[in-house]
Each structure stands twice: as C-alpha cells, then as structure tokens.
Structure 1
C-alpha cells in the first residue's frame, strides 16, 4: 500500500522524525545481536517443519517436539538440531526424519555431534531437506501474486478486516465466506484462548476451541482453500490472517508461509507484555518468524492497540509511537518491506473526554505520516464499549470515519456487541453495513480535510512525537550502563502497557539456548542470505472486477 497523495499532511519537524528513527535503531540493535547469539526450541522445531517433519503421537504431541527434546537431552541444542539429526539419518538410524522422530520418542536413537567429513555431509543433507520447505514458501508467494494479478485486489482502501472465531474450523469456513460476500477483504481466524502459551502446535483440523479456533497447519490449509473458492466467485483476492505469536511463533510462521496465509499477527513485544513470555525467547523467536514472513510475502500486524487497553490512550499515546518505530526497525532488519508493515494503533480514547475525536484524528494522522508506505492497521474501540449497542454502533461509526479521513490501510470491523457476546452473523452484517456506509459517504473526505497550521490536531501530533523521542532517549541513554540491552531494562520497568517483565523471568525461558561457535541452522543461513524479489508489490493492484459484496 503506498501513500495516498490526498492524505492530510501534518507539519512535523523532519529533524525530529529522523531523530526518532535513529533512536529506535539504537534501541533495537542490541536486541538483534542478542537474537543472533541465541536459538530456541521453537526455532529448531520450525526448521524441522521446513524439512518436512509433521504429525503427532497418539497423545497429540508433535513429532518435532519429541525429536528436538531428544537431541537436546543427548547433545544439546547449542550446535543446532539439524546436524545431529541428519548425521543420525546418514548413519542409518532411520529411513526418514519422521521415523527418526518416532524412534527418538521411544529412546531408541543415539545422537552425536559429528566431526570433519561426517559433519559436512550432515549439514549438506540438512540444507537440502530444509530447502524443500523454503521452496514451498517461495511457490506459495508466487501463487498469491498470480491470483492477485488475475482476480484483483479490493477496489478501495482501507481493506476491511473481519474476525471469525467459532472454535470449529468447519463452522468458521462458511462464516468467512459469508463475510467475504458481504464486503470483507481480510478474514482473521482468531486463535483459541491460551494457544500462545502452548509450547507445541496442535495437529490436524480442530473442532473445539475457546473464543477462537486453534492455529494448525490443516486449519490453515482448509481456510485458505475455502477463501480461494470465494475469491474466484467474487473476482477479488480475499486475504487470510492468523496469529504468529506466543511460544510457537517461529513454527506457526513457517506453517503459514507454506500454506499461503497473507497476514499474521506478529508483534515484537506483545507476548512479553500480555502473555508474560520471556523477553529473550520472544525476541529470538520474532526475528526468525519475521524473516520467514519477509520471504513468504506476508504482511505482519503489530499489537500496539493492546497497550491502550491497559494504559490511558491519551497519556500513553507516545508509547504506541515508540512501539511502532521499534516494530518497524525490527521488521526491516529481518527483511520485511514497507508494504508488509501493518503497524497497529487504535481508537481507544475515552469518549467522555472533550475533543476525544480530534485527539483520535491527531494520533491516527501521526501514524499515517510517520509510516506513509505502510498499511497501517486501525483497531476499533473496545475498552470503552459498555454493552449499550446503540452507543457502541455510534462509536464504531466515528472510528470508521477517522479511518477514512486519515487514510488507514487496514480497518478492523468494530462490533457493537463488543464485550457482550461473541458476535452473531447478524452483528457482523450490521457492522459491515456501518463500514460500507461511512466509506461510501466519506471515503474521499481526506481530500478536503486539512488540519490548520498550529491548530489543535497539529499541536497534539507534535506533542506525541516529542514525547516519543524523549522516551526513546531515556531508553537508549539513561538506562543502566552495565546493561548491554537497554530495551530489556525498559520492558522490565513497565514502560509499555504498564507491564513489568524482567529479562530473566516469564514463560519459555528454559527453551532459550545460547549458540555455540559451530552453531548451524540451514534455515537461518538461507533466510539471512535471502533478498526480496524486485517485483515485490508496493501497493494494492486492481485488475479484476468486483462481484457480490462490492462496496
């Protein structure tokens, strides 16, 4: 998505903007180095999944978990999992990696760290095997590009993003197709509550989930096929979203890339702050997952909106900007391009505050101008939804209007029954009617909306940017000089979302391993060397004709 030239322009000091990005780069750099010095059990499991290892035992424990655990118990993971695994295969311990995992689960395989020619041979074999999965990701990306070229993208921005979440993938599918026919451009299958804390990826098609459906490879495949069918019916490509977060972030990213998902929730700090996952584990996992997303051509959605559910949306507005700048830096270091950065923000200011809508416009315009070529994801009100569906419907209308006036790229459909019930199909239909009305009536309003120089909106945006720079300066310059990763100290102090998360605490810490000098991971080697194709999209393309569900 490229910047619309009609989007209103804030008069921000370019030197302040440059300063903000420079500080974000300085804050991110030690975290990147930390990630490059460590691996995790999920990174190693993701690598085995790329090599084709799938399936689970009778208790539904995935074979990748069994194999990684066996290697770790016998030789450790500091050298990487693939060298001892393919050495075992070349020594005849099993005929393929699946049988090897099955034998490892029963304790009937002996692993070792090979040396010399044996090590070289094992690494070459592992590289070939992992390369198969990477080629599958490349093929999925090319398939997406062909379908978009043939079917077309939505006729207008923002893309309308709607959630389905029944817990049963076979119930989600008809709801998703119905939503697409009513005008949704992006279908998000929200994940079952608590899956982010599972240190394994469930296997197969699932029919039970709480407030969402489990993210599994088979569920991805089924929903993608169903949306391909409805895309052909409607004459526009319908995108699919899921969640690459939590303790299995790298694995879910790999599965999403192979099954051609189009967007993934993937925030650099969400799991740390809101799921108490260890910070080091999270940063190691998110770098690998974002490298996969970059290669797969997947748009990431970040989670800054969550900060405003725990902190005040006015007082903490600058922390959203800081997080967006950090997410941008981490993403670009991992190879993601501007068109893949669905940076998040939200309409969460207390509506009882005077000038609340003007404040929302200032914050939305600031994000739009700081990241002009990113498809910003604009999130609807949730914190101040009271159960009064009429008031909620009005608030959602104002949210949709703010999105239209400020040129947001991805607009998540707000529900008037937020915080009351899981939405019915009728609720979603009414919510989509709200979106369609506002975009049809005021979609071009940004051509006429020009905040006056030194007016309320301009000054508020400058204030938030200035406070963001001050916070970044404190993170980079005022932290403990003995600490080599200042951002970790800021997270431990509760800087973001009022959550204090120390670097040596949280879930999943025991799955973090410092790499040895001879660490080898063919997936990381290939992802580090990968460069985006020169034909990568920078804006939505519209070549098809819209049928059914046109807005």
Structure 2
C-alpha cells in the first residue's frame, strides 16, 4: 500500500502500532471491567442525586459508601444495599439514609429474590434520572453553540489559578475578552490525593482552586454570560484525575463542563496513585465523559518534563495510542480525544525546531480526527523573559504550521512566579499575532519527501512500534513499573488508593455502568437532537 499524508508514513506500520496498543490495553480493560473502587461507587450515588456534606466537610457519599463497605462490603456495589435500605424505610431520600449512616443508625444487607429485584429497579430509576440530567446538559451545550457560535481552531487555552473562585471568575471573563477560547480552572495542589470531593464555593487553594460542584456551576454560568457577550462559545476545563476521578467526571457532566484533563497514566506517574485504582476509575470516568460530550485532555506532555524530549519522543506516541484505545473502548469518539503533546526540546539543540515540527506533524497525522492539545515550553524556560517570549512564539508557530487544535498559551515568566494578568495579556497577544499572521500556513507546510522532518517522524514511529511490542509482551503494568513512561517507576501493588480497589463479585450491580455499557452515547445524543 502506498504511503500517506505529508510525512509519507507507512500505513502498515500505523495499523501495526494500533493493533499492538489494543492488545497491550486489553488486560487492563478486563481488569477495569471486573473490579470497582470506592470512587466509582460514590460516583453512582452522585449521579443518583446525593450531594452535600456534614459540618466537617465530609461528603454524604463518603459516609454512605463507607457504611455499606463496613457492613456488607463493596464487591456487589452500593446500589443493592442502598436502595434496599431506602425501600425498607424509614428514610425519605438518599440524604436521609446517608445522615443515618453517619450516625451509625443505618443497617445494610444484600437483598435476595423479590427484595433484590425491587432494589435493582429503584436503583435503575435513580441512575437513569441522573444520566438524563447529563444528557440534558449536553443538549444545552449544543443549543448554546448554535446560539452564540463556535470559535475556529486552533482554540486558545488559558489557565486561571488564583485559589479563590470569586477571583477566578473575573479573570476568566477578562481572558475570554482578550481571545481565550478555553478556560482551565487548575485544581489546588494536592486535591488529586484527597479521597473526597470538597463541597461548596471555595476561596482558599494553593496554586489552584478546588474542583467542587458549586465552583463548576459558578464558572460555567460566568462563561455562559461572557460567551453571549462575545458571540462565541467559551469552553470550561477542569481535572478528572486523582483519587476521585469518577466523581469529578460525574459532576462535570452534571454542570456542563466541556473538557476534562483525564489521562490514563498521569496520576500513576506524577502523583503516585495506584495503577490499578487509576485504570479502573479511568474507565468509568471516560464513559461519563463520552455520555456528556466532554473532550478529554491527556497528559503526555508531562512525560517530557522528566524525560528527554528527543530520546523519549516515542513514549509520547505510545501513550497517545494507549489513551486512544482506552478512550474508544469507553465510548469516546475521536472528536473527544484531546491527546496531549508538548514543545519541550532543548532550544540549544541544533535543528530543535525541525525536530519539534517532525513530532508535532507525526501526532497530527496519526490522529487526524482528534482535537490535539499542544503544550508550550516549560522545562527550558530560564527566567530570561525575552528569550522565553521568543520561544513561545516558535511554539505558537509550530502549532499553526502543523494544524494543532488546542494551543495552551505559553508564559514568558514560566518558572519564575505565578503569571500576572499582564503576563497573560502579552501571551495572548503573542498567540493571536502568530495565528492571525500565519492564517492557513498548515496547508502550505509540506515536509520534503525523504528530508529531515519526514525521516525523523518515521524513526519515532518505528521506535514506538518497537516499544509497543515490548509493552504488549510484558504487560502495561510491568512497563509502568519499569519506568517506561516519564522515567518514574510505579509498581502495580503500591501507591495511594490501592485499598479502595475491590474485585467485583458474581451479581455485582451498578446501574450507571449498566446504562453506560449498554447504550451508545453518540446514538443517544443523536436521538436527543431529533425534533419531536
């Protein structure tokens, strides 16, 4: 078969890479299908409408899931014990039951026969009602896009991170007025290690703002206001990662977020979260994202902050292919796969920009239907703001030349301090200039056949296939334990959150998973769009 694309990639080699990634992913997918976690079970309770927390800030979903685990275990799921208790009374709602559980006054059992059938049906109705709310929020996004319009790509992505949601809101709106198309409310440092989701609007956070349902609601409303003002839809991003990945995904769907950072290995490598916990939580979270029409952003860019961007370029490709496979299996369409990569080659290296173009164009051609997220230089920003501003301009140029979909703006003060508003303004000016001046330059950028860029891309693809062969042979969990991605070694039976992993028993029941497994999220969405 003839080569294809600007890089003349061998289509046989591309198909082989995908086949290897699928085989490498399969044991992990099977593990996710046969296990649950405390956060998956709490996510069901949130989808069913349980919200709020006690006076100390401990969420009711935690109280209820913990009580079920202590009395009957989680291997059958929380649904049967919880809805059986609700049917037996005297509780009027899941909230009443959770408060009784927190006081040690609720008794749980695994119902049988007719009682089990009644509990299943009641739980299914509650889960169906919550998923219908997520469906309505997705349809609401579509109506708003039709009302105000969708900005052209590449979308400009900007981070807001004051720690105070009431400070984040005006900063986010100001950024949108200056050209930002996507606003990411970065999470407070350490939230990924909390095994609960904080409640309410928060005004304290270190290097970020806590991800809570109320903060999601407030920022979504603020960006809707500025979207109508500007006549273009401004997207909202947060983080579905860490120990509460499934719950935060559910809250994002309920509050109409548009993108969520959701990587298959980031939490393992950079937060020391147990690999098994991460992959199990990830599958459920991606099922919710698929249903909600949320675009995920993956974190391959982070590997290049700890590994060399030239030597480890193929590990980025391998991770992207794995993320693609895990995403497809969970129901995500190509248009929801915001696969990540980064401009992190040492600028002092000869031909560094040509190498960057090769890597960026390779990713673009391997994933033509994906809204790729391209990350700016960070590791080699020295504090020389003039050199940094120039390096960011080269990054913006590479993004435009290779047709990237989402460009996170680079800051010339990266690595010095949390950027000031003036720094963000200059960064937005930089990317606007490059994007406007280059126009459709991607159409004209065609690497010379057999030249430096094309040969580098083919070499990286070849190295990716070689690594995938090893990962497929030895197992993905083994590869992670050996430090294949991002250098850091993470064994499968260590790390935070392992105690929250539970093998499913025969008869395990989670009505949210049942619905998400059985229904094509995109077919359901298409039906929603058909006029009555």
TM-score range normalised by the length of the shorter chain = over 0.9
Q: How many aligned positions are there?
A: 523
Whole-angstrom distance in 2 between the partners of 1:534 and 1:32:
23
- Whole-Å separation in 2 of the counterparts to 1:204 and 1:390: 41
**2:38 aligned with 1:41:** yes
Shift of 1:443: 2.7
Q: Show the counterpart of 1:106.
A: 103
Give the aligned partner of residue 396 of structure 2. Answer: 400
The TM-score with structure 1 as length reference comes to: 0.94
- Who is 1:283 aligned against? 279
Deviations 1:384-417 (A, max 9, x none): 0111111110000000000000000000011111
Report the TM-score when normalising by structure 2: 0.97
Match of 2:183 among 181, 184, 187: 187
Q: How does 1:41-190 map to 2 (within 5 A)?
A: 41-154=38-151, 156-190=152-186
> For residue 252 of structure 1, what is the aligned residue in structure 2?
248
Return the match for 1:338 from 334, 341, 346.
334
Change (3 A) 1:77 1:406: same
1:509 aligns with 2:498: yes
Q: Runs of 5+ in structure 1 lacking a partner?
A: 1-6, 480-485, 538-551
Aligned counterpart, 1:492: 481
Q: Which has the higher contact order (CA 8 A, sep 6+)?
A: 1
Contact 1:265/1:302 (8 A) holds in 2 = yes
Tell whether the 8 Å contact from 2:246 to 2:282 is kept in structure 1 after alignment: yes
Q: CA deviation at 1:534?
A: 4.9
Work out the CA distance in 2 between the residues paired with 1:536 and 1:341.
18
Q: Distance in 1 between matches of 2:518 and 2:76?
A: 20
Deviation at 1:536, TM superposition (A): 6.6
Instruction: Classify the secondary structure of the residue corresponding to 1:533.
Output: helix
Residue 304 (structure 1) aligns with: 300
Distance 1:148 1:488 in 2: 41
Cα separation, 2, equivalents of 1:59 and 1:259: 24
2:17 matches 1:15: no
Work out whether 1:468 is the aligned partner of 2:464: yes
Aligned pairs for 1:223-372 within 5 A: 223-372=219-368
C-alpha distance in structure 2 between counterparts of 1:534 and 1:34, whole Å: 27
| CA deviation after TM superposition for structure 1 residue 532, in Å | 3.1
Cα distance in 1, alignment partners of residues 48 and 443 from structure 2: 50
SS in 1 for 2:7: coil
Match of 2:410? Answer: 414
Asked whether the equivalents of residues 48 and 64 of structure 1 are also in contact (C-alpha less than 8 Å), the reply is yes
Aligned-pair CA distance for 1:8: 7.1
Q: Check conservation: 2:291, 2:522, Cα contact below 8 A.
A: no
Distance 1:258 1:77 in 2: 25
Secondary structure in 1 aligned to 2:521?
coil
Is the CA contact 1:257–1:292 (under 8 Å) kept in the aligned structure 2? yes
Structure 1 residue 95 displacement after superposition:
1.4
Whole-angstrom distance in 1 between the partners of 2:19 and 2:263: 20
2:217 is aligned to 221
Partner SS, residue 134 of structure 1: helix
Aligned-residue RMSD, C-alpha: 1.1
Q: 419, 432, 439: which one pairs with 1:423?
A: 419
Within 2, Cα distance between the matches of 1:409 and 1:325? 18
Distance apart, 1:533 and its partner CA: 3.3
The structural deviation recorded for 1:269 is 0.5
- 3-state SS in 1 of match to 2:156: strand
Give the structure 2 partner of residue 482 of structure 1.
none
SS at match of 1:345: strand
- 1:160/1:411 contact within 8 Å kept: yes
